[in-house]
Structure 1
């Protein structure tokens, strides 16, 4: 066969293949492209119910609270609260200067920090103790989780009963010659709150630390064992680097939870609570539902929201910077 005939055959096949290709503007191809776009946007459509729920439950009350913080709203103007006198930032000024808000912020932050300083070592110790398999490990892990799964109302009620004068704790201390004093009133109530909070929240740190230990590669353990590393060096240089992320998250969530915790101090000490445990949520509740200063309490709630947003922003910023420094992360 000659070269001209081969060339002619190839050109004929090219023309036939071009003719066989569908037109990009054909109806079938257009409907296929529309179907592809709709499938890609389907996850966004599925977010609409949750987004509407968040707007109704979170955004709308937040905007109403900000609006109320600028009103002189009390029991006399509550009936027609929309027409209550607008006083601007006077509620914020009063909250910061003429109310015990700063003292409540100090109590909330300090008690949360002290509780987390104790719960983090306890959680790590519990996770290390139950990491390796042994007989009865499942039972021990279940026992460790009991304080975490109990509702805060139940925990506070049980501990309130135990701390009553003449109850089981006082009897135990009196048997060894110690006069405990009042647990639920006076300066000692602050340490009582910290003790109960530690007992109730350390299993959360334990869970996150245990999840971090599960991510440690077995080859790393074997290499450290072959190198003859001592148990402390193994924990410091092999185990603890894997716990940095989970423990940072546990510290942040624990701090925010403790600062916002209302049920535990409310049930444990009642209202009005002693001044040594008048935390930020308790003070906001008393200002609103006992003093009936709704505008002032809304300003306190907004200040507490800003207080909570600061460590959250710092954590998210640190996570973003850490992702940017890792290989393959976004710069």
Structure 2
């Protein structure tokens, strides 16, 4: 339910005439001359991207915070004694220690985003604009709008195989890098 509530809230925020986004951008800040359509046309993909990032940000933030808590404080102390400033400690201590978390987080967020059906369906209704038309919407249309279950299941299997290949390739590359550094 929180996903639906969040996306419905964003659909209200992105309305052309009564949405808060256009009110702030046009009326309050004066950044735009005319009220753009956010849920149809060229801007629909960017709207979908903003809503998806907003939805996934808390999970990514919590994962990164958990990773930061596992960085030993002694490493920062040793870097400070060696004269490393903030940026050097960030580059030499924090980012390398967060690499395993970032690798897993990148794969999980890619898979979640690629398989997301709820966000575009709730944001745009049953028919997403051409610019924000995702494979999940195509699968839904084929299976439940036109009752072509064969085509819908074929697209689902193709999506599964694509994601398996991408995941396997990603894991091979990251494991190869890890074994090279060991």
TM over 0.5: yes
When residues 323 and 194 of structure 1 are mapped into structure 2, their CA distance, relative to the original with a 3 A threshold, is: closer
Does the 8 Å CA contact 2:16/2:35 hold for their aligned counterparts? no
Secondary structure at 2:6 match in 1 = helix
Secondary structure at 1:223 match in 2 = helix
CA separation in 2, counterparts of 1:290 and 1:270? 13
1:186 to 38, 41, 44: 41
The equivalences for 1:91-240 within 5 A come to 151-167=2-18, 168-175=20-27, 176-177=29-30, 178=32, 179-240=34-95
Q: Which moved more, 1:261-270 or 1:318-327?
A: 318-327
CA separation in 2, counterparts of 1:259 and 1:310? 14
When residues 238 and 323 of structure 1 are mapped into structure 2, their CA distance, relative to the original with a 3 A threshold, is: closer
Does the 8 Å CA contact 1:224/1:234 hold for their aligned counterparts? yes
Q: Which runs of 4+ in 1 moved over 6 A?
A: none
**Does residue 146 of structure 2 align to residue 276 of structure 1?**
no
CA separation in 1, counterparts of 2:71 and 2:26? 47
CA separation in 1, counterparts of 2:130 and 2:152? 18
CA separation in 2, counterparts of 1:242 and 1:210? 12
CA separation in 2, counterparts of 1:241 and 1:323? 12
1:320 Cα shift?
4.5
Residues 204-247 of structure 1: per-residue CA shift (max 9 Å, x gap): 22112112211211111111111221111110001111111100
Q: Which residue of structure 1 lines up, in the alignment, with residue 140 of structure 2?
A: 285
Aligned residues: 178
CA separation in 1, counterparts of 2:53 and 2:171? 26
Q: Which residue of structure 2 lines up, in the alignment, with residue 249 of structure 1?
A: 104
1:315 Cα shift?
3.3
Does the 8 Å CA contact 1:204/1:250 hold for their aligned counterparts? no
Residues 128-149 of structure 1: per-residue CA shift (max 9 Å, x gap): xxxxxxxxxxxxxxxxxxxxxx
CA separation in 1, counterparts of 2:181 and 2:24? 54
1:322 Cα shift?
5.8
Instruction: Give the TM-score taking structure 1 as reference length.
Output: 0.51
CA separation in 2, counterparts of 1:288 and 1:240? 44
Does the 8 Å CA contact 2:40/2:129 hold for their aligned counterparts? yes
The equivalences for 1:274-313 within 5 A come to 274-313=129-168
Unaligned runs of 5+ in 2: none
1:154 Cα shift?
1.2
CA separation in 1, counterparts of 2:179 and 2:88? 29
